Amino acid sequence: MKFCHGPREACGVFGVFGHKDAAKLTYFGLYALQHRGQESTGIVSSAGKSIHEHKGMGLVPDIFNNQALNELSGDIAVGHVRYSTTGSSVAKNAQPFVASHEGKTLAIAHNGNLTNAKELRNKLEKKGSIFQTTMDSEIIVHLLTHHSKMGLEEALVKTLGKLQGAYSCALMTKDKLIAFRDPNGFRPLCLGLLDEGYIVASETCALDLIEAQHIRDIDPGEILIIGEDELKSIKPFPERRKTFCIFEYIYFARPDSTIFGQNVYAVRKRLGKKMAQEYSIDADFAMPFPDSGNYAAIGFCQESGIPLEMGVIRNHYVGRTFIEPVQSMRDFEVKVKLNPVKEILNQKRVVIVEDSIVRATTSKMRIKTLREAGAWEIHMVISCPPLKHPCYYGIDFSTKGELIASDHSVEEIKNFIGLDSLCYLSLPGMLEATGLDQDSFCLACFNGKYPIQPKEGFSKFHLEF
């Protein structure tokens, strides 16, 4: 049984240069980034002459043990956590992707989605390339190889010049670590320092765990080459409007991370406050579904004066049972994770503060259990506008069919879930709460305005053989 009801992120990346514990630090970095991908993980390290890799399907602590980490010798490493769609050929899609060409080995960890992947792959195949996986990262390595005669820096510029879409990457050669991010800057990527070594990570929470110092973010469009004697930043592409993924703030990133220049917790709290400003609800208390809604709920309650309660209790040992419930156990999937507290809910008027609604099926089940626990009125406030359009840049709600708001009105959604009222935060309200310039974000999932149009043949994950 899996308990994955929210939208799913594709990946987290991590890299280390110049630290004797490179693989171990990468392990802990991935451990802190586990929320960005739980289906496969991998680490590749370089000891100069030899490249070592270890990958597998599962959670970071299940895939690596002391022996595996010891074998990942060397002071450079890149790692990856991935959420991937199911299918028969998923094990081979675990990143980092590793390949060799004329005695040089490359390993790459990629977060995001290329929107012209199919087109690039077709061109490469016409030139004779063969593919072993369906990952964008394999395409990037092929392109780098085709330009390898120019030297690494030129090859990178040539290669990235051909990529369209979202990519925040850590690339390792036998003696270098290269971090680069697409000019739009869809996905986060930050730079840290630990002892004498450099760290690259999707989120700052990974730096915090290993006690590395957060120096700055990798800029959109930047290529940062970290070598023994150099730390070289190049920005070869014309500057473009930034389009950060606002959903990283709303749902994906860990609240203790700072991304795009703002602490995620603080943004979420402001989103909650904005909701309280936009909607006035008469209720006995407000509550989140732990833990994703906690921070917006705190902001909502502080602003509205409505008391905060924890109307459902999270079972901390949940998430790993594969036993089917017995027939009489209705709503098991919800209850095994979140048990309603009858004494708190009974005969009460409740506001649920929630981050977002994707399919609404989980919300419907949860609301049912609250009703059964005796709640009299249930209102729901959502910390973003209705999700209406698929994402082409790395979030797994890529078809309209998965988004209830794509073809249902707010009234219809309210009725489907079984609420007394349903309030979405306004788009301007959401943008204001971020604390950034309103033009800094990709809002395509809300308004359908895509910063980069996907090329024909785009189907995100499924470039099946």
Cα angle value 457/461/465 (rounded, 5°): 75
Which residue, 231 or 329, has its beta carbon nearer to a copy of itself?
Answer: 329
Site for a copy of itself in 446-465 (CB under 8 A): 464-465
To a copy of itself, the closest distance from the beta carbon of 267 in angstroms equals 10
Q: How far apart are CA 206 and CA 116, in angstroms?
A: 30
Q: Give residues with Cβ within 8 angstroms of 439, minimum separation 6.
A: 241, 242
Site for a copy of itself in 283-322 (CB under 8 A): 290-291, 294-295, 298, 301-302, 307-310, 313-317, 320-322
Burial label, 404 (beta-carbon count in 10 A; 0-12, 13-18, 19+) = buried
**Residue linked to tokens 């929470």:** 205
Stretch that binds a copy of itself, among 59-67, 112-120, 408-416, 445-453 (CB under 8 A): 59-67
Buried b (16+ CB within 10 A) or exposed e, 449-463: ebbbebbeebebbeb
Return the amino acid letter for 161.
Answer: G
Q: How far apart are CA 339 and CA 349, in angstroms?
A: 18
Q: Of the listed 4, 11, 190, 205, which one is catalytic?
A: 11
Longest Cα–Cα distance in the chain: 73
Which residue, 24 or 460, has its beta carbon nearer to a copy of itself?
Answer: 24
Site for a copy of itself in 255-274 (CB under 8 A): 255-256, 258, 263, 265-266
**Residue 57 touching a copy of itself (CB under 8 A):** no
Per CB under 8 A, the list member of 127, 230, 439, 456 interacting with a copy of itself is 127
Site for a copy of itself in 235-254 (CB under 8 A): 254
Which residue, 67 or 280, has its beta carbon nearer to a copy of itself?
Answer: 67
Which residue, 114 or 301, has its beta carbon nearer to a copy of itself?
Answer: 301
Is residue 57 helix, strand or coil? Answer: strand
To a copy of itself, the closest distance from the beta carbon of 216 in angstroms equals 16
**Residue 341 touching a copy of itself (CB under 8 A):** yes
Is residue 287 helix, strand or coil? Answer: strand
Q: Is 11 a catalytic residue?
A: yes
Cis peptide before 291 (omega within 30 of 0): yes
Burial label, 301 (beta-carbon count in 10 A; 0-12, 13-18, 19+) = buried
Site for a copy of itself in 62-121 (CB under 8 A): 62, 64-66, 69, 71, 88-89, 92, 98-103, 105
What is the x/- site pattern for a copy of itself, positions 2-41, by CB under 8 A?
Answer: -------------------x--xx-xx--xx-xx--x---
In residues, how long is the chain?
A: 465
Distances (CA, A) of 215 to 198, 204, 212, 223, 234: 10, 10, 9, 16, 17
**Residue 421 touching a copy of itself (CB under 8 A):** no
To a copy of itself, the closest distance from the beta carbon of 72 in angstroms equals 9
Which residue, 265 or 450, has its beta carbon nearer to a copy of itself?
Answer: 265
Q: How far apart are CA 378 and CA 352, in angstroms?
A: 7
Are the C-beta atoms of 306 and 453 separated by less than 8 Å? no
H-only helix segments in 248-400: 264-278, 294-304, 332-335, 342-345, 361-372
Q: How far apart are CA 159 and CA 141, in angstroms?
A: 9
Per CB under 8 A, the list member of 48, 58, 61, 457 interacting with a copy of itself is 61
**Residue 280 touching a copy of itself (CB under 8 A):** no
To a copy of itself, the closest distance from the beta carbon of 64 in angstroms equals 7
Which residue, 234 or 336, has its beta carbon nearer to a copy of itself?
Answer: 336
Q: Considering only CA atoms, which of 372, 456, 465 is closest in space to residue 117?
A: 456
Which residue, 276 or 301, has its beta carbon nearer to a copy of itself?
Answer: 301
Per CB under 8 A, the list member of 125, 175, 239, 407 interacting with a copy of itself is 125
Backbone angles phi, psi at 249, to 5 degrees: -70, -45
Which residue, 317 or 347, has its beta carbon nearer to a copy of itself?
Answer: 317
Q: Give residues with Cβ within 8 angstroms of 187, minimum separation 6.
A: 111, 112, 166, 167, 168, 181, 202, 245, 248, 393, 394
To a copy of itself, the closest distance from the beta carbon of 303 in angstroms equals 11
Site for a copy of itself in 359-398 (CB under 8 A): none
What is the x/- site pattern for a copy of itself, positions 129-168, by CB under 8 A?
Answer: xxxx--------xx--xx----------------------
Chain-centre distance of CA 411, in angstroms? 30
**Residue 401 touching a copy of itself (CB under 8 A):** no
Site for a copy of itself in 167-196 (CB under 8 A): 194-195
Q: How far apart are CA 299 and CA 179, in angstroms?
A: 35
How many residues bind a copy of itself (CB under 8 A)? The answer is 98
Per CB under 8 A, the list member of 18, 227, 236, 325 interacting with a copy of itself is 325
Are the C-beta atoms of 197 and 180 separated by less than 8 Å? no
Which residue, 333 or 412, has its beta carbon nearer to a copy of itself?
Answer: 333
Catalogue the active-site residues.
11
